Amino acid sequence: MVLRKLDPRQQSAETLDLFCLLRTIMAARGLTVTQLVRMAGVSRSAMEKYLAGPSSPGAVTIANLSKELNMSADLLMFGNLDPQVESAYQRAFKAFADLIEALECDPIPAPEFRSLKVGSKAFADFARDQAFARAGLFKRSFEAGRRDEHFRIV
């Protein structure tokens, strides 16, 4: 994360310059203004002000956005977001979500997977082991010049 120097107007934290970062996030994640309005819990006119230029979102708005966007309030308020990092994060998140969905549907590991408590070490270990096993199968298949329909590059 690269911190940008605060604009003199931001020194007192009365005005935050979120518009560049919010627009970058919108583009990288394919979000609409309506979706950001829902995430922030503000009116459309308030969000349009945030997207137009320096504005003064409240602490609750910052907290809602940081929670919904899964990023720290510090990064949201003061950091520069690298679009490539954001894109990599989104691909990794989608790959993990696809893995969880596949594990729920796969008749072999599904019973064991469903018995694990989400967030437990056993859950994390099982998901990691399955991800490595599936990545290994994909790698061997790809190296052999075959593309199995069950594996895809995200």
pLDDT tens figures, 77-97: 776 666 677 677 777 777 888
What burial class does residue 102 get, using C-beta atoms within 10 Å of its C-beta: 0-12 exposed, 13-18 middle, 19+ buried?
A: middle
Q: Which residues contact 61 (CB under 8 A, 6 or more apart)?
A: 40, 41, 42, 46
* Domain ranges within the chain, ordered by starting residue: 2-80, 84-143
Q: Determine the Cα–Cα distance for residues 89 and 16; give it in Å rounded to an integer.
A: 25
Q: Determine the Cα–Cα distance for residues 55 and 62; give it in Å rounded to an integer.
A: 12
The pTM of the full predicted model, rounded to 2 decimals, is 0.47
pLDDT at 147 over 80: no
CA–centroid distance for 28 within its chain: 10
Could you tell me the CA-to-CA distances from 49 to 37, 43, 46, 106, 148 in Å, in that order? 11, 10, 5, 47, 48
pLDDT digits (tens, 9 = 90+) for 22-68: 888 888 788 899 999 999 999 999 999 888 877 778 889 989 998 89
CATH number, domain 2-80: 1.10.260.40
Query: Band of the pLDDT at 15, cuts 50, 70, 90?
Result: low
pLDDT at 126 over 80: yes
